[in-house]
């Protein structure tokens, strides 16, 4: 797929692709490397299916993928992301488009629709919030930043497994590779830190574009109330709860997701409540019924997907103090047959600490850490460090939900 390049008003070069036919849908980036994302089988299939009826625009945000990597790390707020979007639209000669705001791009999509209403036709929002702090708990964010800073590769592997629930032998391997090659640890750290401060709630009332907010019924990274507030705060907003638990689109019942998004972008059609049929026009003057959450049938909530951020390691940032025994219990890492010391080790692994760092913090020998790791891997069925981090992230979510 040909990569084009646009230049933002501040001189940053943005890599993007355009393909397909029909109304334009801009898939706005979170952490992205669109060249690598084409190698993920499920994503490639989604791109190709959407492109049968839509013109798809993909782009890498500043600091990511094919876009400029050398950027101002202090300028990663909404205004910077809007410069990227405008540059792509202008360079491609696109006057107006529908926007798919994915994760952190949710707030940027809202801001663009509020500030340039004539250019935003419809919004499809998934996985994010107008006030990003609602989707990024402070303690978890700090733990994530620690993991990113200490071991970018481990973060990529764990994120692919825990966030998406993909087996490392299939899509997970390519997803981890896309994460690893998307950017550097320094840019990712600045990016996550800036995202936590983004808040466009004051602009929501000015959005005139019909807005479809999507959420999976069994997904537990972010409480459903966040998405209900998002839909209620947008004048033309409606929440639709999808079956499944994986915190991403186009992976569980991909045909249904593709059909829903395509129908909404092309004609504004939405599913009836409790039905797989498609009907109902959604506009900015739609009544209260259009803003209530609608569930699609056949939800499978048996699998609890992973936590967005691992807060297990937050207690490891103690200025070199040994956290002592019982750290795993205090940080929320479930025991599941692990000894107290094994739970401590798992918590520190989840924070990105090396075996040497774990040994120093717990006051034990490195070979003892290795023995604890071998034992806990066997008990939880982990093949290595990334599996262990992903396991801790998933189980912390389940513990919070059951508690």
Three-state SS string over 148-187 comes to HHHCHHHHHHHHHHHHHCCCCCCHHHHHHHHHHHHCCHHH
- Where along the chain do the CATH 3.40.50.1820 domains lie? 4-131+198-295
Q: Which of 105, 43, 56 is nearest to 251 (CA)?
A: 43
Round to whole Å and give the CA distance between 56 and 50.
Answer: 7
Per-residue pLDDT band at 173 (split at 50, 70, 90): confident
DSSP state of 199: B
Mutual orientation of helices 385-402 and 366-380 as an angle, nearest 10°?
60
Round to whole Å and give the CA distance between 93 and 91.
Answer: 5
Look at residue 348 and tell me whether its pLDDT is greater than 50: yes
Residue with tokens 């405008």: 86
Rounded to 5°, angle at Cα 149 from 147 and 155: 40
Q: Which of 131, 310, 362, 350 is nearest to 230 (CA)?
A: 131
Round to whole Å and give the CA distance between 80 and 338.
Answer: 46
36 Cβ contact list (under 8 Å, min separation 6): 65, 174, 177, 178, 181, 182
Look at residue 110 and tell me whether its pLDDT is greater than 60: yes
CATH number of 314-402: 1.10.10.10
Tokens for 91, please give them.
Answer: 């360079």
Q: Which of 76, 39, 34, 81 is nearest to 57 (CA)?
A: 34
29 Cβ contact list (under 8 Å, min separation 6): 58, 59, 60, 61, 64, 65, 102, 105
Instruction: Tell me the β-bridge partners of 99.
Output: 26, 123
Number of alpha carbons in the 13 Å side-chain half-sphere of residue 239:
22
Lowest average pLDDT, out of 38-52, 136-150, 192-206, 337-351, goes to: 136-150
Look at residue 400 and tell me whether its pLDDT is greater than 50: no
Going from the C-alpha of 295 to that of each of 100, 164, 202, 247, the distances in angstroms are 20, 21, 28, 16
Residue with tokens 């989840």: 350
255 Cβ contact list (under 8 Å, min separation 6): 49
Round to whole Å and give the CA distance between 136 and 104.
Answer: 10
- Where along the chain do the CATH 1.10.10.10 domains lie? 314-402
Condensed to tens digits (0 to 9), the pLDDT of residues 176-191 reads: 788 888 999 899 889 9
Round to whole Å and give the CA distance between 332 and 131.
Answer: 26
Condensed to tens digits (0 to 9), the pLDDT of residues 239-274 reads: 999 988 777 888 888 999 999 999 999 999 876 644
Condensed to tens digits (0 to 9), the pLDDT of residues 191-240 reads: 988 998 999 999 999 999 999 999 998 876 788 999 999 999 999 999 99
Round to whole Å and give the CA distance between 232 and 130.
Answer: 12
Does CATH number 3.40.50.620 belong to domain 4-131+198-295?
Answer: no
Q: What is the pTM of this model?
A: 0.73
């Amino acid at each position: 797929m040909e990569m084009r390049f646009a230049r933002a008003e501040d001189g940053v070069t943005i890599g993007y692709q355009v393909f397909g036919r029909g109304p334009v849908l801009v898939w706005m980036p979170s952490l992205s490397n669109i060249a690598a994302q084409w190698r993920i089988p499920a994503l490639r299939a989604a791109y190709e299916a959407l492109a049968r009826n839509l013109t798809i625009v993909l782009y890498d945000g500043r600091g990511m993928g094919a876009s400029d990597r050398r950027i101002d790390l202090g300028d990663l707020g909404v205004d910077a992301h809007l410069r990227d979007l405008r540059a792509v639209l202008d360079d491609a000669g696109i006057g107006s488009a529908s926007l798919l705001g994915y994760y952190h791009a949710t707030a940027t999509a809202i801001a663009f629709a509020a500030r340039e209403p004539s250019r935003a036709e419809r919004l499809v929002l998934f996985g994010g919030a107008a006030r990003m702090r609602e989707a990024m708990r402070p303690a978890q964010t700090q733990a994530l930043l620690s993991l990113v800073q200490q071991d970018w590769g481990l973060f990529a592997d764990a994120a692919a497994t825990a966030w998406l629930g993909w087996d490392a032998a299939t899509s997970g391997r390519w997803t981890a590779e896309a994460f690893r090659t998307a950017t550097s640890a320094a840019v990712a750290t600045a990016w996550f830190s800036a995202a936590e401060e983004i808040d466009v709630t004051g602009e929501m009332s000015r959005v005139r574009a019909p807005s479809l907010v999507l959420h999976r019924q069994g997904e537990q990274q972010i409480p459903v109330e966040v998405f209900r507030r998002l839909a209620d705060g947008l004048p033309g907003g409606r929440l639709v709860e999808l079956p499944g638990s994986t915190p991403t689109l186009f992976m569980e019942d991909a045909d249904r997701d593709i059909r829903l998004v395509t129908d909404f972008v092309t004609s504004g059609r939405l599913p009836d409540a409790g039905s797989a049929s498609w009907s109902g026009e959604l506009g900015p003057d739609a009544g209260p019924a259009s803003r209530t959450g609608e569930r699609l049938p056949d939800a499978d909530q048996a699998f609890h997907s992973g936590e967005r951020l691992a807060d297990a390691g937050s207690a490891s940032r103690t200025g070199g103090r040994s956290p002592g025994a019982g750290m795993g219990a205090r940080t929320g890492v479930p025991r599941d047959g692990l000894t107290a010391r094994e739970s401590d080790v798992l918590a520190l692994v989840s924070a990105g600490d090396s075996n040497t760092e774990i040994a120093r913090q717990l006051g034990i020998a490195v070979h003892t850490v290795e023995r604890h790791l071998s034992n806990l891997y066997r008990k939880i069925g982990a093949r290595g460090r990334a599996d262990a981090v992903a396991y801790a992230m998933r189980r912390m979510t389940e513990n919070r939900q059951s508690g």
